[in-house]
Amino acid sequence: MKNLLIVLPLFVFIQSFLPSSLLGQNGEKAGNNSIGLNPNYDKKLAIKFGADDYGMKSYYLVILKTGTNKSTDDELVRKSFQEHLENIQKLVDEGRLVVAGPLGKNDQNYRGIFILNNIDSIEEVKELLYADPAIKNKLLDYEVFNWYGSAALPEYLHTSDKIWKLKP
């Protein structure tokens, strides 16, 4: 008990000399506490994005690849890919698609990716994909994977819409 009476005031005295930038909200050293709590944690933002305790969440990653339809019908191909781009925008507007883009030339015939958000099941993923004319017409095929990534990923969409100059 006697040691506690000496150590406690000494601890308070030493802590009073630490710069406030090293202290968290409860006086613990920021970024160095025993359970690894983030001093920048924003509960409302975490809830908004559906984040778990690590700031992450589950998504579906879709890899688009060359389909089995090798049609030479230029009008079918043109229209299917035009509607494919319109479908991408629709999914973004609905909050279901957070990343989409083409891949460079590769040996696996992979053509592009989607990262789908706010989707409850693989069946729902397949429904969304079959609504895409390029997939429905078998110009594109796909592989689907569960993917665990930052829950803040959808936030980049607000910025990305402000930096493109020419519409694809």
pLDDT tens-place string over residues 99-131:
999 999 999 999 999 999 999 999 999 999 999
Query: What contacts 24, CB < 8 A, 6 or more positions away?
Result: 30, 31, 33, 37, 39
pLDDT of 35 higher than 60: yes
Residue reference for tokens 């944690």 = 41
Q: Which amino acid is at 71?
A: S
pTM: 0.74
Residue 136's pLDDT band (boundaries 50, 70, 90)? very high
- Domains of the chain listed by start with CATH number: 2-41 (no CATH), 56-160 (3.30.70.1060)
Q: How far is CA 38 from CA 26, 31, 116, in A?
A: 12, 6, 27
HSE, side-chain direction, 13 A CA sphere, residue 144: 15
- pLDDT band for 164, please (50, 70, 90 cuts): confident
User: What gap in Å lies between CA 67 and CA 111, rounded to an integer?
Assistant: 10
Residue corresponding to tokens 């000399």: 17
Q: What is the pLDDT of residue 8?
A: 41
**pLDDT tens digits along 45-82:** 999 999 999 999 999 999 999 999 998 999 999 999 99
pLDDT at 103: 96
Q: Is the CB of residue 112 less than 8 Å from the CB of residue 103? A: yes
